Structure 1
């Protein structure tokens, strides 16, 4: 994995992070949603309920927020299925890219889950 300047520090992910598995949403199939191959991602997890807007702008409740490195931005399209350490499988509501570029802030992707 290439370390980008200003990303979430590797030591922080190693000490405080969790391994989650994401199956990227690919679309609706004849028998329901279809997903891509599972990818394991190290993430900081915040199990706190908050109000977010989905891709269509509707207000919905997010039960969990993940923070992952920006190089995983393509792994979390809305509708993706995520397996958390407790084996629950919420779906991605929306993502927010926080890119500090050259500023001394940790750039990351914030992922809101149902």
Structure 2
């Protein structure tokens, strides 16, 4: 059964994609292939346990790659699309999320 990632994005329910059986199987497969090691930390010579599988080409911009382990870049080279990573590295890959999570300074003294 094929899932329609574009429909999930359009409906604002991308969570359905991340809980579907196809994604969960692929996610487990990628984590196992990477031996549950964060690939970004590993590139720096550090060992950190991976808990997340990151889409290099973000799902919202490239839904056609949502269930692909690899993609072909502009030079025709085969690259990893799904990469195991730790929480910290995943947050670094999504700087747009960090802006959302920052607390705002109170506008007035009453807002604390």
Indicate the structure (1 or 2) with the bigger Cα radius of gyration: 2
Determine if the TM-score, normalized by the shorter chain, exceeds 0.5.
no
Q: When you count helix as a share of all residues, which structure comes out higher?
A: 2
Structure with the bigger RCO (C-alpha within 8 Å, sep 6+) is: 1
Q: When you count strand as a share of all residues, which structure comes out higher?
A: 1
